[in-house]
Amino acid sequence: MEGKSTEGKQDINIGITIGDLNGIGPEVIIKTLTNLNVLRNTNIVVYGHGKVLSHYMKLLDTENFAFYQFKAGDRLTSKRPNVINCWEEHIDVKPGEENADGGKCALASLQKAVEDLKSGFIHGLVTAPISKNNIQSDDFKFPGHTEFLTESFGSEDSLMFLCSENLRIGVATGHIPLSQVSTAITVDLLKGKLKMMLKSIRQDFSISKPKIAVLGLNPHAGEDGLLGMEEIETIKPVINELKENGNLVFGPYPADGFFGNSSFMKFDGILAMYHDQGLTPFKTIAFEEGVNFTAGLPIVRTSPDHGTAYDIAGKGVASESSFRAALFMAIDIIKNRRESNP
């Protein structure tokens, strides 16, 4: 796609996918972008459709939001969001309803944004929530955004990294059944995830000597083998090897006590063994400001740490706090990467 910024080479162009148009994505996008005065040298490109945003503007009785209908060859404007229409046919917006149209449009939005990421037209992406059910198709056979983007950009692996200002939790295994976690956790897997976490914290968050905590898999971190051998046979050897190479990696810690006594505050990053072990404490501690960042990719992608929330879609009550945090984190990470790789 052709397109130029109005502010010069150092501008940051951030793409935003609309997600499921019947969820809270459009609402939190509008609320986040209503006032762009704080976004200097940043151009926003929303991938979706102007009619969807207009529908929600009317539904939410929003008067302070305006956008620019962007077409190929135009110049980006920083004065308001640039909106790219990703489908041509008329789509009925039905807030709160999970249907095929929502999945089809979410995928069209995501595919166009990926195309523009690859061309360099946008420098980072913030994804609004999708339904993992209705987006499934011949072109999307993934548990979620993380896996789709990992394959789209040819990465061997990535790290689901939940971040807030003072808490960063990555998960060794993401969207897989709990019954498969113990066999999925291997020395190579943990080594790869921890190396990605260490690199990301240094490069993306500008912490030169990160201190990392690793959680155990079993209750009480295995209780010296009484409650499981994964800590002794798999997790500890990886921690010891990384320590020998000069990294500040510690554990494994029992997950319950680690969060219960606030030990998490002493670390720059935490690696949990499975999805809910990491996301449950994260959402309890940092739900309003939490951001899902996909580390390990050549591009920057963030998202809010909530889902489509069909039950409140279109009612004007959805909080934009997490989405706004995701937008600002994407911008900060791009700046940090530019500074570390001028």
Distance CA 192, CA 158 (A): 9
C-alpha span between 266 and 272 (Å, rounded): 16
Q: How confident is the model at residue 111 (pLDDT cuts 50, 70, 90)?
A: very high
State the amino acid at position 168 in one-letter form: R
Helices 25-33 and 50-59 sit at what angle, rounded to 10 degrees? Answer: 80
CB neighbour class for 61 (10 Å; exposed up to 12, middle 13-18, buried from 19): exposed
Bridge-based pairing state of the strands 300-304 and 159-163? unpaired
Q: What angle do helix axes 187-205 and 236-244 make, rounded to 10 degrees?
A: 50
Question: 212, 194 in Cβ contact below 8 A?
Answer: yes
Interatomic CA distance for residues 323 and 138, integer angstroms: 29
The reported pLDDT for the residue numbered 342 is: 63
Mean pLDDT for the stretch of residues 95-101: 96
Cβ proximity of 167 and 175 under 8 Å? no
CATH class of 1-155+297-342: alpha beta
User: Cα angle at 157 between 153 and 163, to 5 degrees?
Assistant: 95
Q: What is the pLDDT of residues 130-187, one digit of tens each?
A: 999 999 999 999 988 999 999 999 999 999 999 998 899 999 998 899 999 999 999 9
pLDDT at 6: 41
Q: Give the pLDDT confidence of 40-59 residue by residue, as tens digits.
A: 789 999 999 999 999 999 99
Query: What is the pLDDT at residue 3?
Result: 42
Averaged pLDDT for residues 98-121: 96
Q: How far apart are CA 24 and CA 94, in angstroms?
A: 11
Give the pLDDT confidence score for residue 302 in this predicted structure: 98
Per CATH, the number for 157-288 is 3.40.718.10
pLDDT band for position 235 (50/70/90)?
A: very high
Common-topology check for domains 1-155+297-342 and 157-288: yes
Q: Model confidence over 291-332: pLDDT tens digits? A: 999 999 999 999 998 999 999 999 999 999 999 999 999 999
pLDDT at 2 over 80: no
Domain boundaries along the sequence of the chain: 1-155+297-342, 157-288
pTM of the model: 0.91
The per-residue pLDDT of the chain, averaged, comes to 92
pLDDT digits (tens, 9 = 90+) for 5-17: 444 457 899 999 9
Closest CA to 126 of 338, 335, 317, 324: 324
pLDDT at 285 exceeding the cut of 60 = yes
Instruction: Confirm if 145 and 293 have CB atoms less than 8 A apart.
Output: no
* Cα–Cα distance measured from residue 13 to residue 170, given in angstroms and rounded to the nearest whole number: 27
What is the reported pLDDT for 9? 52
